[in-house]
Structure 1
Amino acid sequence: MKILDSFDRKILKIVQSNNRVTSEKLAKDVGLSSSACQRRLNSMRKDGVIKKDVSVLDRNKLNRKITIVVQILSDFESTEHDNKFKKAMQKAPEVMQCYYVTGDYDYVLTATFEEMGDYEEFTKKYFLEDPNIKRFNSMVVMNQVKENSTIPIN
């Protein structure tokens, strides 16, 4: 992978907030030709600097009004149990983020649901029926203060 220069950084700042920006607008804002910007974007995608291009959806407009942050404590840690749980969370469509963390809990995840009954079923399936889950702590999001997936680029 090549070292990112100031043009790459400018491109990344722009496409993080709007990945549908036109090549012409990107070129004007960055100070390169549109073809040079496209080459750089393609190179950063190929190198994995840009993992994917997505659309950010409004959960409320899709009837996903409940967001819950969950802390999960495993009974005992092992590669087999960790891999099993990680795979389950990767496949669970309700889970938006899942992190293996340090501290008092082993995992922290964020998930979204249409109603509380859906979360109850989720907990039964993934936590209560898993003998390795010792405890979980649920925090219902009352108000979204900030939600952002952009990474600061210096």
Structure 2
Amino acid sequence: MNSLDLVDQKILTILQKNNRITNQKLSELVSISPPSCLRKVKQLHELNYIEQDVAILNPLKFGLNLFAFILVTLKDHGDSSTSEFEDSLQDLLEVMQCSYISGPADYLIQVLIQDMKEYDLFVRQHISSNSLVLRYESIFEMKRIKSSTRLPLKKVFAE
């Protein structure tokens, strides 16, 4: 981690709560001039502390009501099999996140879809029909308790 000064830390903390804040307001909150603040934000982008500026959409407004977690175990764990499986997921819009994990399965895939009918179609087209897959298990979200895109910066910066 490159060393971040206290102002950088404050800027990042504020921006991950609201990246639409004006430069003027941000500069006031971190007690530096607007031009200095703009330079710092630009530098944080260039150093990849800020990866992207995005709008977080409400999936329910688009009829995306079902969040499924799919645990996938592959038949073979060689590099070519894992790469091929990972590549097969890259362009699937329903896949929100995929992680290679430890434990009883190899992958945890998070899928956001409209309903069980769409889920069934997704699994048949992309998981159960995939010759690399040994088995899979699905877990469905009943109720979202917490969802956040914010990093625990307060804890990181305290160390």
Q: What TM-score results when the alignment is normalised by the length of structure 2?
A: 0.92
- For 1:37, the equivalent position in structure 2 comes to 37
In angstroms, what is the RMSD of aligned CA positions?
1.3
TM-superposed CA distance for 1:88, in Å, is: 2.0
- For 2:63, the equivalent position in structure 1 comes to 63
Give the whole-Å Cα distance in 1 for the aligned partners of 2:33 and 2:89.
43
Q: Which runs of 5+ in 2 are unaligned?
A: none
- For 1:146, the equivalent position in structure 2 comes to 146
Identity over aligned pairs, percent: 28
Instruction: Report the more deviating stretch, 138-147 or 80-89.
Output: 80-89
Give the whole-Å Cα distance in 2 for the aligned partners of 1:144 and 1:22.
31
- For 1:25, the equivalent position in structure 2 comes to 25
Q: Which runs of 5+ in 1 are unaligned?
A: none
Give the whole-Å Cα distance in 2 for the aligned partners of 1:25 and 1:39.
15
Aligned length: 154
Give the whole-Å Cα distance in 2 for the aligned partners of 1:106 and 1:59.
27
Give the whole-Å Cα distance in 2 for the aligned partners of 1:100 and 1:2.
27
- For 1:110, the equivalent position in structure 2 comes to 110
Determine if contact 2:68/2:141 at 8 Å carries over to the other structure: yes
Q: What TM-score results when the alignment is normalised by the length of structure 1?
A: 0.95
TM-superposed CA distance for 1:2, in Å, is: 4.3
Q: Which amino acid aligns with 1:81?
A: S
